[in-house]
Amino acid sequence: MKLIVIVFLLGLQPLAAIPNQIIGGVNQANSPLNGQELAGRLLQPDLWQGKSRLPGNWKEENRIAETKTSHLLAKPKVFGLDAILLRATHRGDDLESVTVIFADAGSYFPYLQRKPGVPIEKQRQDLLEKQRAFQELYSTAFEKLNEELEKRAGRKAKESRWGSSRTLRADLLVYEIGKIQAVLFAENGRLLRLTLTRDRDLYRKGWLDQKRIKMSGSELSRHYSDQVKISQNGDHVIEGVKPVPQGYRPYCGLNSLTMVAQYYGLHLDEDWMAVAGKFQNTGSAAGSNMLTLYNATAREARLSMNRETKFQFSKARALIKSGLPVVVWRRFDFQRNQMHIKLAQKFAEDPNALLPEPDTADRATWPGDEHPVHASVIVGFNDKRKEVLFIESWAGQSVPRRMRYEELEATATMVFYFEGK
């Protein structure tokens, strides 16, 4: 199934991938840490004991369960290698982990576009050359990183695993450097990253947050239902589902799943999900195993999942009331999207603003089978207005937009209902 990347939102153009609004800020940051070696400072015991702070300027990204994630606005070196991105996870005031990304195919191979006038064979050859270049970059970085980690640890790596479900399980190399574990992800020639942590069992029991693991099924159900807020106008909206911007990558279905996974307390990101979902180094979602990935994510979150080809408003409504968002793959049209954007802008000024009635004239503007497919997350509904509220994996859009439920029922091609066990 063809998934599209939407690169326009309220007239804004994203920059590059990882996602774009993050890497763009990192690249533009005039930091004294640019090009500086940080490994020594990241391994300092005082840092992990709370006696000192991470160097540089960090920008908060998201909160997963009891933790918050931020990224460094600088491009330093770590263990002698150029770092694409540094992310830190804090639990309260305590530093839980620092992750360094050295190579990421999602950034290297942005959304694949056919080039008019350029022969297909030439485009294929260009892609092959780019794949060879990335593989050389990846292999060189992997070799150098292993050598440096082994030298600092004084011994070879131990093999380990994070994650409980087979699909999402990560096979790892772990180096002991003093009291710090250096956990190396090196998967499928696609993602090379290193996580530093003092927690020897950080995600060995699964990607679900440690606090959520300890909750009973009934406690989890109450937690999710407590996330639903009801407005005076009748909106029922799940709070806590935040956009994970896909950037210029074919990740709408993947990032929509990541948004839901993080809401459920899973410490998963789109880069690792792309590896687990078997995305290829092509800039396309073709060949990926998205359906298996959706099922595995539900199991990892201690939920079940039903996949259907039709959107049922009554079923989605019941789940949302329980605090369980719904992911929908739907037909997408740019002009129709512009109408939804304008309604969102108008509604912000006039709460009485309404979408068009779904009469024959309006239905003629709905996307059909000839249109591409895009993923959205349904986080709310309004019975009186006959609307669903949805968010996208786009930067800058955290306020849900609105769509008549009849339109979603007519344009949905695949629906993922996450349900409690």
Q: How confident is the model at residue 187 (pLDDT cuts 50, 70, 90)?
A: confident
Q: How confident is the model at residue 7 (pLDDT cuts 50, 70, 90)?
A: very low
Residue 407 pLDDT:
97
Residue 235 pLDDT:
97
Q: What is the dihedral of CA 187, 192, 194, 200, to 10 degrees?
A: 0
pLDDT digits (tens, 9 = 90+) for 193-233: 999 999 988 998 899 999 999 999 999 999 999 999 999 99
Of 133-147, 244-258, 313-327, 403-417, minimum mean pLDDT range: 244-258
Those residues with Cβ within 8 angstroms of residue 224's Cβ, 6 or more apart along the chain or in another chain: 322, 323, 324, 420
Q: How many helices (H) and strands (E) does the chain have?
A: 14, 18
Residue 10 clears pLDDT 70, i.e. is over it: no
pLDDT digits (tens, 9 = 90+) for 27-84: 667 899 999 999 999 999 999 999 999 999 999 988 999 999 999 999 999 999 999 9
Q: How confident is the model at residue 8 (pLDDT cuts 50, 70, 90)?
A: very low
The burial class, CB within 10 Å (0-12 / 13-18 / 19+), for 15 is middle
Residue 128 pLDDT:
85
Q: How confident is the model at residue 17 (pLDDT cuts 50, 70, 90)?
A: very low
Residue 397 clears pLDDT 90, i.e. is over it: no
The CB-side HSE value for 23 (13 A sphere, CA atoms) comes to: 19
**8 A C-beta contact, residue 262 and residue 62:** yes
| 141 vs 188 pLDDT, higher one | 141
Note the pTM of the prediction, 2 decimals: 0.88
Residue 281 pLDDT:
73
Q: How confident is the model at residue 25 (pLDDT cuts 50, 70, 90)?
A: low
Alpha-carbon distance 245 to 249, whole Å?
A: 10
**8 A C-beta contact, residue 17 and residue 23:** yes
Residue 96 pLDDT:
97
Alpha-carbon distance 48 to 32, whole Å?
A: 23
pLDDT digits (tens, 9 = 90+) for 72-128: 999 999 999 999 999 999 999 999 999 999 998 877 876 556 667 778 788 788 888
Residue 154 pLDDT:
96
Q: How confident is the model at residue 246 (pLDDT cuts 50, 70, 90)?
A: confident
The CB-side HSE value for 295 (13 A sphere, CA atoms) comes to: 9
> 70 in helix, strand or coil?
strand
Mean of per-residue pLDDT scores for the chain: 88
Alpha-carbon distance 334 to 75, whole Å?
A: 36
| 98 vs 397 pLDDT, higher one | 98
Residue 161 pLDDT:
92
pLDDT digits (tens, 9 = 90+) for 319-355: 999 999 999 999 999 999 999 989 989 999 999 999 9
pLDDT digits (tens, 9 = 90+) for 302-329: 999 999 999 999 999 999 999 999 999 9
pLDDT digits (tens, 9 = 90+) for 138-184: 999 999 999 999 999 999 999 999 998 899 999 999 999 999 999 99
Which domains, and CATH codes, for the chain? 20-197 (no CATH), 217-420 (3.90.70.10)
Degrees to nearest 5, angle at CA 310 with 308 and 312: 100
Residue 222 pLDDT:
96
